[in-house]
Amino acid sequence: MSLESLTTVANRQGFTTTFTNEYSGNQSAATIITPTSGKKLSIKGVYVGTGATSGKVRLYFDTSANTAVTLYAADEPGYIPLFVEGAVNEVLKITTTFGDNLYFVLINYTEN
């Protein structure tokens, strides 16, 4: 058995759109991605970078409250390939507790 690199796995996910943004304060249930009417979001990968030493970020689908991913400041795991799908017309939200620390969010996704 051989292990594949994260890049190989990520490239196989087939995302078509990338959301990026930098924040400088806590977010509380802020909508970050809204799908086109009649479509659903499929999250293919996530990266969160921060200088914070405590706190967390949670990305989740609004209506169902299904969590796409929760990352903690101390983890900094790098890019995480995912496959998490929301319902039709369900928005993706973010909640963070990094305080005033800067952080960067990257989300690869498709709309189906």
**Going edge to edge, which strands form the sheet with 41-50?**
17-23, 103-111, 41-50, 80-85
Check: pTM over 0.95? Answer yes or no: no
13 occurs within a structural domain: no
9 occurs within a structural domain: no
One digit per residue, pLDDT tens: the chain, 112 residues? 677 776 666 666 667 899 999 999 899 999 999 999 999 999 999 999 988 889 999 999 999 888 999 999 887 668 888 889 999 999 999 999 999 999 999 999 999 8
69 closest CA partner among 91, 46, 90: 46
Residue 25 sits in a domain whose CATH number is 2.60.120
Which residues, in sequence order, are CB contacts of 26 under 8 Å at separation 6+?
Answer: 96, 97, 98, 99
d(CA 62, CA 69): 13
d(CA 104, CA 21): 6
7 occurs within a structural domain: no
87 occurs within a structural domain: yes
